[in-house]
Amino acid sequence: MSTTESTPVSNAPVLRMESVRKTFGGSVVLRDVDLEVAPHTVTALIGASGSGKSTLLRCANLLEEIDDGAIWLDGEEITDPRADQDAVRRRIGVVFQAYNLFPHMTVLENITLAPRRVHGVSRAEAEARARELLERLGLAGKADAYPDRLSGGQQQRVAIVRALAVRPRLLLLDEITAALDPELVGEVLDVVRGLKDEGMTMVLATHEMGFARDVADQVCFLDGGVVLERGSAEQVFGEPRQERTRRFLRRIV
C-alpha cells in the first residue's frame, strides 16, 4: 500500500476552494476565493448584500460554474470536468432562504422524494429516516401535513430535514432565517446548533451576527467578492483586523 493510501483522511478538509473566480457577464463576483472547511466545523460567511455569499455557496454545490480555480469535496476535485456532478450534489445538502417545499406534497412526501427517487432508498427506509428526523427536530406530528399548514419556522425546519434525509457530507445554509418572522428565527437557529453538536459540517451565510459568533468555528467576511478577513469568531468579531470589517460590524450589530 502506498503512503498516501494509508494516510488517515479524517482531518482532511471536507470542502476546499482554491483561487475560485466567478464572473457574471464580465463583472467579477468572486475573486481569488480560498476556503477550507474542516470536518465537523461550522463556517459562517458574513458580509453586505451583494458581497458574494450566495454565489460562493452555489459554486460549492456546482449550481454555478466557476471561471477559474478549483473546488474539492473530500479530496476529490469536483470542478474537474470528468467529475460526476450529480453524484457530488447528492453528497451536499442545501437549504435556501425560501423554503421551496413542494406545496402539493405532504411533509413526509417532500422529505422522502429525493432519498427514494435519487438515492434509490426503499419507501419504508426513507419514511423511517424521515420520521426519526422529524421527531428530532420537534416536528413529529407534522408528517402528514401540507406545507401551507405550517408556520414559516416549521417549514424551514422541514426543509432542513429534507436536506438531511440523504445523509449529506456537507450542509450549505443560505440565509435560512432571513424570510422568517423574528419570533420564529430562534427555533431554526436552535436546530442548526443541534446539528453542530452532532458533528455536521456546515457552511452558512447569515446576517444573524450573534448566532454566527456563537456557532461558527470559522468566520469569513466577504467584501466585493473577496474574503477580506477570516478567523475564529472571537477574532473576527472581537478584534477585526480590517477597517472594512469593523465598519460592517458597527453598522449591523
51 interacts with Mg ion by CB under 5 A: no
Which of ligand ADP, Mg ion, none binds 50 (CB below 5-8 Å, type-dependent)? ligand ADP
CA 223 to chain centre: 19
Q: Which of 9, 12, 32 is nearest to 22 (CA)?
A: 32
Interface mask toward Mg ion for 160-189; x: CB under 5 A? ------------------------------
Which of Mg ion, ligand ADP, none binds 49 (CB below 5-8 Å, type-dependent)? ligand ADP
Provide the grid cell at 206.
447569515
Smallest gap from residue 170 Cβ to Mg ion (A): 18
Task: Out of 13, 17, 53, 150, point to the residue binding ligand ADP (CB under 6 A).
Answer: 53
Smallest gap from residue 104 Cβ to ligand ADP (A): 28
Which of Mg ion, ligand ADP, none binds 29 (CB below 5-8 Å, type-dependent)? ligand ADP
**Residue placing its CB nearer to ligand ADP in the complex, 29 or 137:** 29
Task: Out of 51, 54, 154, 156, point to the residue binding Mg ion (CB under 5 A).
Answer: 54
Stretch that binds Mg ion, among 4-12, 25-33, 54-62, 108-116 (CB under 5 A): 54-62
141 interacts with ligand ADP by CB under 6 A: no
SS3 sequence of the chain: CCHHHHCCCCCCCCEEEEEEEEEECCEEEEEEEEEEECCCCEEEEECCCCCCHHHHHHHHCCCCCCCEEEEEECCEECCCCCCCHHHHHHCEEEECCCCCCCCCCCHHHHHHHHHHHCCCCCHHHHHHHHHHHHHHCCCHHHCCCCHHHCCHHHHHHHHHHHHHCCCCCEEEEECCCCCCCHHHHHHHHHHHHHHHHCCCCEEEECCCHHHHHHHCCEEEEEECCEEEEEECHHHHHHCCCCHHHHHHHHHHC
61 interacts with ligand ADP by CB under 6 A: no
Task: Out of 9, 19, 34, 50, point to the residue binding ligand ADP (CB under 6 A).
Answer: 50
Applying CB under 6 A, what is the total number of residues that bind ligand ADP? 10
206 interacts with Mg ion by CB under 5 A: no
Task: Out of 41, 43, 51, 201, point to the residue binding ligand ADP (CB under 6 A).
Answer: 51
166: Cβ–Cβ under 8 A, 6 or more apart, which residues?
90, 93, 114, 115, 118, 119
Smallest gap from residue 27 Cβ to Mg ion (A): 16
* Residue whose grid cell is 432571513: 178
Which of Mg ion, ligand ADP, none binds 154 (CB below 5-8 Å, type-dependent)? none
Binding site for Mg ion (CB under 5 A): 53-54
Binding site for ligand ADP (CB under 6 A): 24, 29, 47, 49-55
